[in-house]
Amino acid sequence: MVEASTAEQVIEVSGGSILSPAGFSAAGIHTKVKRKRKDLGAIICDVPASSAAVYTLNKIQAAPLQVTKESIAEEGKLRAIVVNSGNANSCTGRQGLEDAYTMRKNSAKKFGLPEHQVAVTSTGVIGEAMPMDKINEGIAHLEPETGFERAQDFNEAIMTTDVAGKHACFQTWVDNKAVFIGGVAKGSGMIHPNMATMLGFVTTDAAIEPAHLQTALSEITNKTFNRITIDGDTSTNDMVVVMASGKAENNPLHPEHHDWNAFVAGLKETCESLSKKIARDGEGATKLIEVKVEGAATDEEAGQAAKQIVGSDLVKTAVYGTDANWGRVIVALGYSEVELDPDTVDISVGPVETLKASTPVHFSEEEAKAYLESDTVEITVNLHIGSGSGKAWGCDLTYDYVRINAGYRT
Amino acid sequence: MVEASTAEQVIEVSGGSILSPAGFSAAGIHTKVKRKRKDLGAIICDVPASSAAVYTLNKIQAAPLQVTKESIAEEGKLRAIVVNSGNANSCTGRQGLEDAYTMRKNSAKKFGLPEHQVAVTSTGVIGEAMPMDKINEGIAHLEPETGFERAQDFNEAIMTTDVAGKHACFQTWVDNKAVFIGGVAKGSGMIHPNMATMLGFVTTDAAIEPAHLQTALSEITNKTFNRITIDGDTSTNDMVVVMASGKAENNPLHPEHHDWNAFVAGLKETCESLSKKIARDGEGATKLIEVKVEGAATDEEAGQAAKQIVGSDLVKTAVYGTDANWGRVIVALGYSEVELDPDTVDISVGPVETLKASTPVHFSEEEAKAYLESDTVEITVNLHIGSGSGKAWGCDLTYDYVRINAGYRT
């Protein structure tokens, strides 16, 4: 069971990145799969890093996911993650799987590693054969180094329709040793003209066995990455990978370790920060929407209701139109599958109480409208039936979302 | 079990309406709840009509739904349905429930009926008190008559953001008697600036007991009204009511009656026709999208997958952008919860085959684009794992959807 920790144990590292934890280097280069921007990147660990991953729940999964699963299954250790953007290697049949294996094999050769210590992943167009000549030549030119600029290069190499880079870094303490946790992510629409996917890569110098790292990642993912929605679509390539170098030299972490909660809190902060950055950078978005549901039967139901509300096109357009339209919030709540009492619902839009015990509150439309102009909008719902609470994140639905996604693929 | 019937047993009645079946009259007037358009209507049956209804699955249900449920529960017979638009009487607490009862009581008095033979329903703004003075005065002025113009008046009186009227009428034969089934519906977005709801009203002169009518309606609703999606939202006021006058003088219908299938087919055609008209009139829509899934494990799973595909914002924007983006179709299929084999999926966009056995087919983008310019777009998916099939309907997602729904309530 992952417990939330007190805020004091975790501090944000300004200017931090995936290369803040000891033991990691990275690279990002342009191989001409994409027209202009960098499109091939790698994260390398000096030592075999304990690794864990979570994958898309879509039944259609891209070839590299299968290859990465095989790598991690071997001994739970990775030394390299190699990622390309511009082609998702999804719906590419037998050839696609061979290409993913080739990408792994050539990466292993380049960095002098056993194949099973290499993870590969791809994001971009679905249903087109991988341009393996460019990928293979690119792999030969990857020269990972340390420093924030290399983390930036890697970030650029994994972007598709993303407008902004998405870094996060937090510090915590385990056995009185400073432990860093850094992350980088991409994702804005789930599949823009077939350009897919949410990807997250997290590094840490904590010492931890793969199985415990997987436990922490799986539980945290359910409360962070799985609580964001841009358009309700789930791609064939979604993946989050964590690598732990152990260079912080703490005693290996496990759920009974006295600093387990501090580590989990740091990892959760990192994943939550990346999740919010993804939501804010949603295709065409002008605002981050955070929905918090309290007083639910369970934390899980609270999170589920929050996600249903933040995923409603009608709530999203109301926020875009700076309309404190609580009616759409209660309607979305009503069709979520969580337990509720129709007579006890409170809804606030930022500081503005709009519904109390399911009865409309007279509020200042001007004050609500002014609040909705801000770039982060918080909607709070209290069901008053239990003590469960949870959050979810999304963004407003705008003309630009339609423009971006109605654009012709080619 | 409702079985589909052969097409020959059912014919469409051109210019038909809810007043084509014998025994019905209707009215629609302006009471000033809405600024200009008619906003109060009634359908009256000369005799107590066997009645059945289905209601929203939203946990938050508007007051009139409760009152109508009580009416029908009493003896399964209705003589009047009274509907207002402009105010949904939803999230209006105890006062709202009293207002719904008052609306029923005054309607019963006006038409000289027992209260339990009157159904009431409302559509419009959520969370505002019903303007009962206008409603009560309006009820006194309702003068139902026969003829298509009165059906038009009624249709106008139930509209909110609807652009087009939505009538349907089919004829079938039971015991060699002509039986008419007429319908009218409203609904374009599930809740436009708090203007809610899909409503459907169906009349027939078939003789049938309420329980059998309910069986037929419930099964048909699952394959028609429940298979349309504009924006995934389900309102607090959704309702479909069927009234059967018995004036066709057939032997009462029941599932073992030799013409049961003919009647069910007629009712299904009526409901499907209304469903497609609602989808086509979706807020901001320029096109009707019909998704047909074949080769699924069951009919139910086929329908579920079809609805997931037609509800995907990415599929909807692709259709708007005339992009034969099969990648978005397979992605939506992959996250629907139906059984599938990732290697055996076929996808066609109209006549254009785009994916065969999960492998991209080289197709003419020009041909596909030309097809996607039409005002009805059919997407066909074959899973090749069973014999289940099902359809769902929706519309494209356009700039106008965002404009309409980002508009301020007041």
Beta-bridged to residue A191, according to DSSP, are A196
Q: What is the DSSP string of A7-38?
A: GGG-EE-TT--TTSSTTEEEEEE--SSSSSS-
Distance CA B36, CA B133 (A): 18
Give the percent of chain A with pLDDT over 70: 95
3-state secondary structure of B15: coil
Q: Is B366 in the same domain as B260?
A: no
Q: What is the DSSP string of B311-373?
A: T-HHHHHHHHTT---HHHHHHHHHHSSS---TT--EEEETTEEEEETTEEPP--HHHHHHHHT
**What DSSP character marks residue B58?**
-
Tell me: the pLDDT tens digits for A54-101? 998 888 889 999 999 999 999 999 999 999 999 999 988 899 999 999
What is the rounded average pLDDT of the residues A117-144? 95
Tell me: the pLDDT tens digits for A373-392? 999 999 999 999 999 999 99
Distance CA B395, CA B291 (A): 11
Query: Across chain B, how many H-helices and E-strands are there?
Result: 11, 17
Distance CA B298, CA A86 (A): 37
CB atoms B127 and A408 under 8 Å: no
Q: Is A133 in the same domain as A110?
A: yes
In 10 A of CB A29, how many CB atoms?
18
Q: Is B360 in the same domain as B267?
A: no
Among the candidates A218, A252, A276, a domain finishes at A276
Per-residue pLDDT, B2: 43
Q: Is residue B270 within 8 Å of B169, Cβ to Cβ? A: yes
State the burial class of residue B185 (Cβ atoms within 10 Å of its Cβ: 0-12, 13-18, 19+): buried
Q: Between B194, B323, B410, which is nearest A409 by CB?
A: B323
Distance CA B376, CA B349 (A): 11
Q: What is the DSSP string of A242-278?
A: EEE--TT-PPPB-TTSTTHHHHHHHHHHHHHHHHHHH
The answer as to whether B359 is a domain residue is yes
Q: Is residue B19 within 8 Å of B150, Cβ to Cβ? A: yes
Backbone angles phi, psi at B397, to 5 degrees: -105, 120
The answer as to whether A1 is a domain residue is no
Q: Between A235, A327, A402, which is nearest B126 by CB?
A: A327
Set of chain B residues whose Cβ sits within 8 Å of the Cβ of A326: 127
Q: Is B218 in the same domain as B347?
A: no
Tell me: the pLDDT tens digits for A324-371? 999 889 989 988 889 999 999 999 999 999 999 998 999 999 999 999
Q: Is A271 in the same domain as A300?
A: no
CB atoms A340 and B234 under 8 Å: no
The answer as to whether B1 is a domain residue is no
Count how many domains chain B has: 2
Tell me the residue ranges of DSSP E strands in A131-269. 167-174, 177-186, 191-192, 195-196, 199-204, 239-244
The kind and range of the H/E element at B77 are strand B77-87
Q: Does A84 count as an annotated binding residue?
A: no
Among B190, B237, B328, B331, pick the best mutation site for testing chain A contact (most A Cβ within 10 A): B331
Tell me: the pLDDT tens digits for A229-264? 877 677 788 899 999 999 999 999 999 999 999 999
The answer as to whether A391 is a domain residue is yes
CB atoms B331 and A126 under 8 Å: yes
**Could you give the residue numbers annotated as active site of B?**
197
In 10 A of CB A46, how many CB atoms?
12
Q: Is B12 in the same domain as B161?
A: yes
Q: Closest approach of chain B CAs to the CA of A152, in angstroms? A: 29
From the list A121, A123, A197, A224, the catalytic residue is: A197
Task: Return the CATH number at A389.
Answer: 3.10.20.340
Q: Is A256 in the same domain as A165?
A: yes
Tell me: the pLDDT tens digits for B171-208? 999 999 999 999 999 987 654 444 447 899 999 999 99
Set of chain B residues whose Cβ sits within 8 Å of the Cβ of A318: 405-406
Among the candidates B246, B277, B308, a domain finishes at B277
Q: Is A47 in the same domain as A147?
A: yes
Q: Per residue in A212-242, is it b (16+ CB within 10 Å) or e — as a string? A: bbbbbbebbbbbbbbbbbbbbbbbbbbbbbb
Of A83-92, A299-308, A400-409, B178-187, give the lowest mean pLDDT range.
Answer: A400-409
Q: Is A223 in the same domain as A308?
A: no
Q: Between B60, B191, B407, which is nearest A321 by CB?
A: B407
Set of chain A residues whose Cβ sits within 8 Å of the Cβ of B127: 326-327, 355, 360
CB atoms A91 and B234 under 8 Å: no
Q: Between A193, A235, A343, which is nearest B325 by CB?
A: A193
Among B301, B335, B346, B361, pick the best mutation site for testing chain A contact (most A Cβ within 10 A): B335
Max Cα–Cα distance, chain B, nearest Å: 68
The answer as to whether A322 is a domain residue is yes
Distance CA B368, CA B387 (A): 27
Give the percent of chain A with pLDDT over 90: 76
Q: Label residue A189 by pLDDT band (50, 70, 90).
A: low
- Pick from B398, B317, B371: nearest CA to A409: B317
Per-residue pLDDT, B314: 87
The answer as to whether B2 is a domain residue is no
Six-digit token string for A336: 């979520």
Average pLDDT of chain A?
91
The answer as to whether B203 is a domain residue is yes
Which residues of chain B are under the pLDDT cut of 50?
1-8, 191-196, 408, 410
Task: Return the CATH number at B263.
Answer: 3.60.70.12
**What DSSP character marks residue B31?**
-
**Looking at the predicted structure, is the pLDDT value of residue A307 above 70?**
yes
Strands B24-29, B388-395: pairing kind: unpaired
Six-digit token string for B139: 């009820």
The answer as to whether B283 is a domain residue is no
Q: Is B65 in the same domain as B160?
A: yes
Q: Which domain holds residue B26?
A: 7-277
Per-residue pLDDT, B407: 66
**C-alpha B248 chain-centroid distance:** 25
Distance CA A144, CA A42 (A): 7
Task: Tell me which chain A residue has its CA closest to the CA of residue B406.
Answer: A321
Q: Is A131 in the same domain as A261?
A: yes
Q: Is B247 in the same domain as B297?
A: no
Per-residue pLDDT, B189: 66
Per-residue pLDDT, A60: 86
